[in-house]
Amino acid sequence: MIANEGEIRDISDIDEPEQAACWLLARGPEWVVVTLGARGALLVRADQAVHLPALPAVAADTSGAGDVF
């Protein structure tokens, strides 16, 4: 499952992204990716959580940015 930070908070009612992802893992997916905008992304599986930092970039327009993740 891939969701942004706001979506995962809305689904789980948990503010902390890693805890929210673990809550979702208990409900079926094998992995959860939480996109964190300029802070990168968080990949969570049952056996590990990995933070992937965003690559440096200059954003000209963020419209549709989540669509290309």
Segment 9-65, tens digit of pLDDT = 999 999 999 999 999 999 999 999 999 988 999 999 999 999 999 988 887 887 877
pTM: 0.85
* CATH of the structural domain 2-53, one choice from 3.40.120.10, 3.40.1190.20, 2.30.42.10, 3.40.1620.20: 3.40.1620.20
Q: Which of 37, 38, 40, 44 is nearest to 12 (CA)?
A: 44
The domain spans of the chain are 2-53
Q: Which of 40, 24, 10 is nearest to 32 (CA)?
A: 24
